């Protein structure tokens, strides 16, 4: 019947509207329009929340584009809160005060910092997204619940206090100078640094929040542990058992880095079998050291062993040799640090 056509068309229109409306839920991406949404240039402002805007190029994989845009928005919030704050300088200064040289200090510093779990927000919500087709750009708006984030940080600090207290008591019962004792020291340093970092984060979320001080002597404990690591006693001896000039030079290089080199009762021993050679090519000298090295604990058990090769280049023969030896000292120093921090790697997770 002719009179029924409008009703049929209306029904179809309503049905399509209902279908489209039902698909709009979840992580939807708004279609492009002439102008960008207001929130792109003027994010919302609400008490207890921080909003971040991020964007990314639209790729063939929309999920990948969304992840990049979300990471950008999270970085925007982090910038607002200055979450990149670290305590690197305080660690470095403390170690320089201990051993008087920055090279070994830098290695210890990096070993601690690199093993502190990376900070990630736990309470981010995607509130808006917009797909700018003409410019192949995806925009997102993230909402951080500051109160929940601060509560999570407080819980983690409380957990760390318990872990630090337990580890400290266990350390007091361990054998001083043993490799496992030294590794417990390094693991405890990482926990203390993580706690200090989280305390800084908490102040950023809640500037007026009082400092959590259940362990009032935490700074003093960290200084004692740093001194314990920095005072590790190292022995250097050739695999052949016969003293040679190279051993004395290696010992000198380690001493320059701030390590304590001893001839008896060491905590760790470096056993080496190196060859030092000098090659001249077109007026340039190439110093090269290569061979095997082994790191042993005080009981003589091998901690690790590997090949080492270092080079030094100069127009002067002595300088080429010196640079190769200096590089060797640096590699051996890092080898010691890696041994002390073995099995202390922490997965980078959110709170």
Tokens of 177: 């100078």
d(CA 333, CA 331): 5
Q: Which residue has the higher pLDDT, 60 or 56?
A: 56
Q: Of all helices (H) and strands (E), which one includes residue 260?
A: strand 260-261
Tens of pLDDT, residues 118-162: 878 889 999 999 999 888 999 999 999 999 999 999 999 999 988
Place of tokens 């417990």: 184
Beta strands at 137-145 and 284-297: parallel, antiparallel or unpaired: unpaired
Give the start-to-end residue ranges of the domains of the chain. Answer: 28-84+119-145, 147-230, 233-340
pLDDT tens, residue by residue, 201-238: 888 776 555 555 455 577 778 878 877 877 788 999 89
pLDDT in tens, 80-101: 887 543 444 444 444 444 444 5
Q: What would the two tokens of residue 221 be?
A: 């404990």
DSSP state of 118: P
Q: Is 9 exposed, middle or buried (0-12, 13-18, 19+ CB in 10 A)?
A: exposed
Provide the pLDDT for residue 15: 33
State how far the Cα of 221 lies from the Cα of 243, in Å rounded to an integer. 39
**Which position has the token pair 């760790």?**
268
* Mean pLDDT computed over every residue of the chain: 78
Pick the CATH number of 233-340 from 3.30.160.150, 3.10.290.10, 3.20.190.10, 3.40.50.1970: 3.30.160.150
Q: Tell me the per-residue pLDDT of 170-192, one tens digit each, with 9 for 90 and over.
A: 777 766 667 888 888 888 889 98
The pLDDT, as a whole number, for residue 34 is 62
Query: Containing H/E element for 116?
Result: none
The predicted model scores a pTM of: 0.69
* Contact partners, residue 248, CB within 8 Å, separation at least 6: none
> CATH number of 28-84+119-145: 3.30.1660, 1.10.540, 1.20.1260, 3.30.1890?
3.30.1660
Is a pLDDT exceeding 90 seen at residue 319?
Answer: yes
Pick from 264, 273, 257: nearest CA to 298: 264
276 band by pLDDT with thresholds 50, 70 and 90: confident
pLDDT for res 330: 83
Determine the Cα–Cα distance for residues 319 and 337; give it in Å rounded to an integer: 27
């Amino acid at each position: 019947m002719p009179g029924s056509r409008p009703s049929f068309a209306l029904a179809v229109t309503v049905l399509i509207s209902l279908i489209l409306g039902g698909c709009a839920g979840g992580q939807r991406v708004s279609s492009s329009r002439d102008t960008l949404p207001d929130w792109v240039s003027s994010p919302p402002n609400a008490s207890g929340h921080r909003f971040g805007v991020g964007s990314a190029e639209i790729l063939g994989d929309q999920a990948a584009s969304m992840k990049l845009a979300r990471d950008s928005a999270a970085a925007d919030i982090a910038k607002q809160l200055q979450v990149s704050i670290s305590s690197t300088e305080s660690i470095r200064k403390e170690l320089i005060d201990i051993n008087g040289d920055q090279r070994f200090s830098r290695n210890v510093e990096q070993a601690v910092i690199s093993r502190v779990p990376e900070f990630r927000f736990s309470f981010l919500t995607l509130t808006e997204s917009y797909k700018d087709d003409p410019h192949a750009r995806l925009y997102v708006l993230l909402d951080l619940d500051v109160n929940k984030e601060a509560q999570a940080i407080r819980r983690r600090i409380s957990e760390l206090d318990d872990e630090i207290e337990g580890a400290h008591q266990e350390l007091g019962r361990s054998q001083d100078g043993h490799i496992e004792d030294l590794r417990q020291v390094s693991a405890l340093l990482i926990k203390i640094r993580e706690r200090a970092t989280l305390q800084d984060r908490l102040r950023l979320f809640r500037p007026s929040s009082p400092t959590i001080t259940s362990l009032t002597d935490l700074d003093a404990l960290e200084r004692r542990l740093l001194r314990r690591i920095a005072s590790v006693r190292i022995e250097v001896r050739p695999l052949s058992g016969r003293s040679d000039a190279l051993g004395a030079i290696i010992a000198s290089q380690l001493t320059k880095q701030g390590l304590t080199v001893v001839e008896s009762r060491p905590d760790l021993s470096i056993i080496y079998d190196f060859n030092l050679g000098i090659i001249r090519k077109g007026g340039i000298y190439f110093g090269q050291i290569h061979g095997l090295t082994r790191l042993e604990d005080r009981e003589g058990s091998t901690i690790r062993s590997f090949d080492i090769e270092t080079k030094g280049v100069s127009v002067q023969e002595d300088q080429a040799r010196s640079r190769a030896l200096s590089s060797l000292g640096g590699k051996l120093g890092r080898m010691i640090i890696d041994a002390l921090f073995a099995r202390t790697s922490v997965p980078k997770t959110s709170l």
